Structure 1
Amino acid sequence: MMLRVLLLLALFPFFALSAPLPMPDQGPALRIQGSNTIGAALGPALVKGLMERQGVQGVHSERVEGANEQRVIGKTRQGKTVFIDVAAHGSSTGFAALKNHSADLAAASRPIKDGELVDLESLGDLKSAGAEHVIAIDGLAIILNPRNPLNSLNTEQLAQIFNGEISTWEMLGGTGGTIHVYARDDQSGTYDTFKELVLNRRGKPLAASAQRFESSEALSDAVSQDPQGIGFIGLPYVRHAKAVAINDGDSQPMLPLNSLIATEDYPLSRRLYFYLPPTVHNPWAKALVDFAQSAQGQALVAANGFVAQHVQAMDVEPRASMPEDYQAIARNAQRLTVNFRFEEGSASLDNKARQDVQRVVVYLKSHGKLHEQVTLAGFGDAKNDPQRAALLSKLRAMAVRRELVKSGVVLRDIRGFGAQMPVAANTADEGRIKNRRVEVWVY
């Protein structure tokens, strides 16, 4: 593991961490507000890791007066107390705290909204590469009792099940009578994720009859013991239940595999962010953003049940539903666990993609695959003219090629597959953005 970290730092100065940070004479070294999904455990874990890397000793968390607020505290070798405050009241509160200058860094489990971007423009462009940072990918599993014969559901069915509109298994073509819905409580980041990805997008509230749980383990065990049960859970908590494949629109059903969440193909996946305003010059804020992207930071992401952004190669089984040319690639190459995606309405790489370029280069260098060992496969959302969709998908692949060439990568091939093989419904902006992607294949 240490060898891997040293290799990453040597090959990838983007992830290198800053020099020793100044210790404030009074008050917190850093103030973070926003997402409960991040702030409950992952944010404090990253803060603790950074503080320990800075030589702070005895680092621990203490609850402060407000609910969902904690202070990560320790002492320098000289005995000086240093602390960082983390408040987790929801993504919107993070942006509000940036506006009123009560936070240096906002944690968000969704992208910043256009209205928030305008509202905060006095702090600089929060969509710029230096401000918007994806720190992890989050994903949910939909679980059933192991004896339930259903193997897949779509996102529309999920919304109707958890809203109560679909109330029996027979309405889904199964058997078993009344559906028993299990859900996490309102304080849960997992519930926030499900609400955002499934219910809110269709304007549906959770059914009042849902059984609510504070514990992920207890919810999973309850579903695994109830033949009529269904629930949603974070990836580490499937336990003895059965995870089902999920599809969105015309996509293939996908199981909640780490590899499909890492590529963001799996429908119930989303990005987790830190937002650092360009006008904030707190060195601890910049250092935490860099630490979160480092090998050590991403290891903490994985340890806290989220999907890290490490690049790995995976085998893909060719299927008859795939284009013939794509099947040929899958038979001879491995796909990397990263998809390049683009700014809305643009052929420009989004901020995560810009970071992913460097991650892919590190992978290619460390595996000796810089020279004609890489094929890029571009995809897009549906257009009235299939030829236009095919052209745009290839142009996206060419945009990625330009960035890789800057780092000495010589491509084997680039392909455009148009609107084929969608991973999300084209009926909403979120789905169209997910479908506009470039895959990386290595030989």
Structure 2
Amino acid sequence: MSRALPVSDRHNLGHVYAWLFLGFICYALPWSVFAADGTTLIRIQGSNTIGAKLGPALVSGLYESQGFANVRIEKGAENEQRVLAEDKLGRTLQVNVAAHGSGTGFVALQDGSADLAASSRPIKDAEATTLQPLGDMRGASAEQVIAIDGLAIIVHPGNPVGALTTEQLAAVFAGEIKDWSALGGNPGAIQLYARDDKSGTFDTFKELVLAAHGKSLGSAKRFESSDQLSDGVSQDPGGIGFIGLPYVRQSKPLAIADGQSQPMLPSATLIATEDYPLSRRLFLYNPPGTTNEWVQSLVQFAHSPAGQAIVAKTGFIPQTVQAVKVEASAQMPADYRKLADEAQRLSVNFRFQEGSAELDNKAQRDIDRLLDYLKANDKLRQKVVLVGFGDAKSDPQRAALLSKLRAMAVRRDLSKGGVIFREITGLGEQMPVAANSAEDGRLKNRRVEVWVY
């Protein structure tokens, strides 16, 4: 016959079960769930481009991947949101997303009011220096490229102008070209729409367009909200503005040319390869060595196939590798035209750290993505062609040699994954995608394309 345990033993056994259960929960969930306030997991500050939609969507996806319930987004103050969910114990968990501009994210990392900085531009030298006590903010463990975006130049849907050069754009936004008739449009005053000074979108436009041509912004209507700017342009026959790709809405995007490049619309493929003149990377920056396991989990989720699917769903360009058929044209070099006829180009370009033959942080992750694609599609042996390009040199033969050396650098890393190449070539300064008159353009031209048979 069974005998009941003494009260003291039952009390002790209850403690044992409680500790075992707590241990299980602590193992299953990141430690930071048990933060001092019991609810706030991550504080994200920075870019409106990321914070308005993409950031909350990625957090929601992470919650769902953990099996949490009642996932929802609540509005707070202007351009601030809370992403909420309930864990398996019924506790409410929270991630705060404040989207007041890229620069505010780095300030928040410095003063400790944020765990992640969302930025639609690379960290600036001064910001990296200020944050040096936290570690190397440009290192692979701190700088995370989570998506690609393109700055769309938008006008009223009825505007007949279809394409502009970056030089014309700079003159327009500096207030030097004031009437649409000077650009081949209908007579009428040009009205400028621009993001605010805290915006990474404005920083990118300023760097790629205004500063590149020695200009500064003229008199413009300024907006913190991307949606409001786009809606304003779509209702103004004289309006022109710049915006992240998901925010084109009812406006009309223009084709853009830079230097000797052909005019390009902000298409998904041209933005994914970063060939489109106004393409840009979207970043999360976390202090290297962070002990917040939710920060680490969100970064890993953003890079995962599930995270990149959310990137695509929110209107940005994912870093998923895809094969694209390129139409051959008479302007292409003969070897390149043959590739276009016979093979397909992959939606990834490899670029390099400034002043270095080493792959940059995005390229290092793209190596793994590319290897996964090649293995899944049986393309490891004699199917891959690498084509290197570079900026213009005084000696075209030197430019061709340097471009092939870049392709060889990519070959080195892919070979470790078992790739046996069909061909590796360098086309030097041919087929530029940006102007060679500025360092940013030269960096974009120094690239390696991947083609598959």
Q: Does the alignment reach a TM-score above 0.5?
A: yes
Structure 1 segment 14-413 matched on structure 2, within 5 A: 20-22=29-31, 23-27=33-37, 28-64=40-76, 66-144=77-155, 148-172=159-183, 174-181=184-191, 183=193, 186=196, 194-195=205-206, 197-199=208-210, 201-202=212-213, 204-208=215-219, 215=228, 218-219=231-232, 221-222=234-235, 226=237, 228-236=238-246, 238=248, 242-413=252-423
Which residue, out of 426, 435, 446, partners 1:416? 426
Q: Is the 8 A contact 2:35 2:41 kept in 1?
A: no
The whole-number CA distance in structure 1 between the counterparts of 2:410 and 2:161 is 39
Alignment partners' CA distance in 1, 2:269 and 2:434: 17
TM-aligned CA distance change 1:326 to 1:133, over 3 Å: same
Q: Given the superposition, is the C-alpha separation of residues 122 and 407 from structure 1 closer, same or farther in structure 2, using an over 3 Å criterion? A: same
Kindly indicate whether the alpha-carbon contact (under 8 Å) linking 1:423 and 1:434 is maintained by their aligned counterparts in 2. Answer: yes
Name the CA distance, whole Å, in 1 between partners of 2:221 and 2:130: 37
- Structure 1 stretch displaced more, 144-153 or 354-363: 144-153
For structure 1, which segment, 138-147 or 105-114, has the greater mean C-alpha deviation from structure 2 after superposition?
138-147
8 Å contact 1:24–1:82 — kept in the other structure?
no
SS for the counterpart of 2:393 is coil
The answer for the alignment partner of 2:20 in structure 1 is none
Is the 1:234–1:305 Cα contact (8 Å) retained in structure 2?
A: no
**By how many angstroms is 1:329 displaced?**
1.2
Q: What SS does structure 1 have at the residue aligned with 2:381? A: coil
CA–CA separation in structure 2 for the residues paired with 1:67 and 1:175: 37
Distance change >3 Å, CA 210–CA 282, structure 1 → 2 = closer
Q: CA deviation at 1:204?
A: 4.2
- Is the partner of 1:40 in helix, strand or coil? helix
Aligned 8 A contact 1:71 1:84 in 2: yes
Deviates more, 1:312-321 or 1:129-138: 312-321
Deviations 1:108-138 (CA, angstroms, capped at 9, x unpaired): 1111122222222222222221211100111
TM-score between the two structures when normalised by the length of structure 1: 0.87
**CA–CA distance in structure 1, aligned partners of residues 181 and 78 of structure 2:** 42
Instruction: Tell me if structure 2 keeps the 8 A contact 1:220–1:237.
Output: no
Q: Deviations over 1:29-81 (max 9, x none)?
A: 112222221112211111111122222221222344x5433222222121122
Task: In structure 2, give the amino acid aligned to 1:161.
Answer: V
Once residues 90 and 419 of structure 1 are traced to their aligned partners in structure 2, the CA distance between those partners, rounded to angstroms, is 36
CA, structure 1 residues 388+188, in 2 after alignment: closer, same or farther (shift >3 Å)?
closer
CA distance in 2 between counterparts of 1:331 and 1:262 reads 21
Letter in structure 2 aligned against 1:356? D
Cα distance, 1:233 vs. partner?
A: 4.3
Check conservation: 1:314, 1:336, Cα contact below 8 A: yes
* 8 Å Cα contact 1:184-1:219 kept in structure 2: no
CA distance in 2, matches of 1:387, 1:434: 20
Query: Aligned-residue CA RMSD in angstroms?
Result: 2.5
Q: Does the C-alpha gap of structure 1 residues 25 and 246 become closer, same or farther in structure 2, counting only changes over 3 Å?
A: closer
Question: Given the superposition, is the C-alpha separation of residues 112 and 26 from structure 1 closer, same or farther in structure 2, using an over 3 Å criterion?
Answer: same
Choose 159-168 or 326-335, whichever is displaced more.
Answer: 159-168
- Closer, same or farther in 2 for the Cα pair 1:348/1:90, shift >3 Å? same
| Amino acid of the structure 2 residue aligned with 1:286 | Q
Aligned identity (percent) is: 58
For residues 88 and 158 of structure 2, the distance between their equivalents in structure 1, rounded to whole angstroms, comes to 57
Larger radius of gyration: 2
Q: Distance in 2 between matches of 1:189 and 1:111?
A: 9
Displacement of 1:390: 1.1
Question: 2:389, 2:448 within 8 Å by CA — same for their partners in 1?
Answer: yes
Moved more, 35-44 or 256-265: 35-44
How far the C-alpha of 1:328 sits from its partner, in A, is: 1.2
Shift of the 419–39 alpha-carbon distance from structure 1 to 2, 3 Å rule, reads same
Which secondary structure state, in structure 1, belongs to the residue aligned with residue 34 of structure 2?
Answer: coil
1:308 partner SS = coil
User: How many Å apart are 1:265 and its aligned residue?
Assistant: 0.5
Which range moves more in the overlay, 420-429 or 184-193? Answer: 184-193
* In structure 1, distance between residues paired with 2:364 and 2:146: 13
- Residue aligned with 2:235, SS: helix
Deviation track 1:145-173 (CA, whole Å, cap 9, x = no partner) reads 5665543211111121233211223323x
Q: Give the distance between the partners of 1:260 and 1:87, measured in 2 at CA.
A: 30
Name the SS of the counterpart of 2:187 in structure 1.
coil
CA distance in 2, matches of 1:139, 1:166: 24
Could you report, residue by residue, the CA deviation over 1:329-363 in whole angstroms, capped at 9, with x for unpaired residues? Answer: 11111111110000000110000001111111111
Q: 1:258 to 1:179 in 2, by over 3 A?
A: farther
* CA distance in 1: counterparts of 2:62 and 2:93, whole angstroms: 12
Separation in structure 1 between the aligned mates of residue 139 and residue 242 of structure 2, nearest angstrom? 34
Counterpart residue identity of residue 100, structure 1: D
Residue 370 and residue 86 in structure 1: after superposition, are their counterparts in 2 closer, same or farther (change >3 A)?
A: same
Gaps of 5+ in 2: 1-26
> What letter matches 1:408 in structure 2?
G
The structural deviation recorded for 1:271 is 0.3
